Amino acid sequence: MKTLEAAAQSCEFPHADTLGIRGFIDLIPDAVLILNENRVVFANGAAVKLFKAKDEASLVGLRSEKFVEPEYALQVRQTKSGDNPLITARLNCLDGDTIEAEIRTSCSMPYQFVVIRDVSHRNRLHRKLAANEEKFRMLFEQSPIGLSIIGKDTFFLKVNQAFCGLLGYSEEELLCLAFPNIIHPDDQDKDMHLFAQLLREEIPSFELEKRYVRKDKTIVWVGLTVALIRSHSGVPLCCIVFSEDILDEKLAEEQRKAHARVQRNTLIREVNHRIKNNIQSVIGLLRYQMRQNPELGKWMQQAIDRLHAVAIVHGMHGISRLGNCSLVKMVSQICDSAEATSNGRQTIKLQVLVPNDVIVAEGESVPTALIVNELIANAVKHGNIRKSPIRVTLNGDRNATIIRIENAASGRDVFRIESGNGLGTGLNLVEALLPPTGASLAFKSGHGEVTAELRLLPPVIG
């Protein structure tokens, strides 16, 4: 067996000293071995370090089987002239450690050139990455929460079985759909606005409760969390979406709210019933005082009429299942009360051209009743009873209703809310009670009649 220097001196490597073969090979970062008759005749510095040898002399003369498992050593020995195969193998260091390596060999008889690259670290990273990917895949697939990955074009890139089960689609069907395809139409604008903000990196993530439309067109409520996934350089790549079924929680919440509404409405009905009874008691006391003090009758009757209007509203709240107040019933009962208190002097004809489901908002029911009561009371008080009855007409719908009160003029000046002309105590009260939005009042006269028009809009009615 010849050493590299002996080979050079025997001209097997012509001009070896001139070319500086040793110095050149020592500059190669990979480990280089030169074999002759399957024994090491040369090892560069990288090889000495790789195999944890003391120096080159510690390696020279060793057979290749010392470093390489027999099956890989056979591959190295069988390399023919002109070949340069890549062999992946585990190598043994002199201290007993093992490394993973890629080996390239070439043959120039009688020498074998072996270049060795340590890939232990790279392979460990690859295995760690593969393990992490497998762990993520298992977590993704086996998660009880619906998971999906959405591209920047909003199409699904990956979905798990829980997400498929949540929506009733197969994986193949979902991968042909975009995120907006499963969102309830009423939620789409808000959701996609947040999604666009996420992709523009204006927000890091977002959470909300929303509705999905399943394949069978039924609705499912989900708690949604969406987060941005970035590349190593920080460029947004896609989004991961967590979708948790919260339908049971929503139903339970609705049941709690319904129970609370029942309790609230029960309390409201009881309170209104007691208020009505107390008002009736006050009315009774006022009537007694009227009999005892006839000179106060005019003023007491006005108070009684107003208390009647308030009692009507509280009576309706007391019997309403939802605490609502029907506009038709309110006006009808006020007309009946006004006609009764006129002691037969005046007839009131009511014409209803609105649906029975027109409701006066809870906070506006008492003011509205008082306004209607004052307008009808003024018509009874100032109308010409010899000419015609008072006509009360309700016309419109839930979006707009007009209460028109018409009576024959008694010769007095027309009322003018804007200027205050002709306003008595009652109409001053009307002006004070008129809601700032959702209600307007106008008076007009002509052909011997006076007409009051009360126009009601949301939010007063609904």
Q: Could you list the pLDDT tens digit for every one of the 462 residues in the chain?
A: 444 444 444 434 444 443 456 777 778 889 998 888 888 888 898 989 998 999 988 889 888 788 877 666 666 666 554 556 778 888 888 888 888 888 888 777 788 888 899 988 888 888 888 888 888 888 888 889 999 999 999 999 999 999 999 999 999 999 999 999 999 999 998 888 998 999 888 998 999 999 999 999 999 999 999 999 888 888 889 999 999 999 888 888 888 887 876 776 676 667 666 777 788 788 888 888 888 888 887 788 778 777 777 777 666 665 555 456 888 988 988 888 888 777 677 888 999 998 888 888 877 887 888 788 888 888 887 776 666 789 999 999 999 999 999 988 665 544 444 444 444 556 777 888 788 899 999 988 877 788 999 999 999 998
Joined tokens for residue 41: 């005749």
Look at residue 282 in the predicted model and tell me its pLDDT: 84
Answer yes or no: are the C-beta atoms of 461 and 401 closer than 8 Å: yes
- The reported pLDDT for the residue numbered 139 is 84
Of 176, 40, 191, nearest to 111 by C-alpha is 40
Please enumerate in sequence order all residues whose Cβ is within 8 A of that of 288, keeping only pairs 6 or more positions apart, or say none.
none
pLDDT at 220: 92
pLDDT at 361: 85
CA dihedral 9, 12, 18, 24 (to 10 degrees): -110
User: Quick one: which of 412, 390, 293, 292 has its CA closest to 345?
Assistant: 390
At residue 136, the pLDDT reads: 81
185-191 contacts at long range (C-beta below 8 A, 24 or more positions apart)? 186/211, 187/211, 191/224
The structure tokens 């027109």 sit at: 358
**Distance separating alpha carbons of residues 279 and 49, to the nearest angstrom:** 105
pLDDT of residue 75: 64
Output the pLDDT for position 388: 77
How much is the pLDDT for 417?
Answer: 43
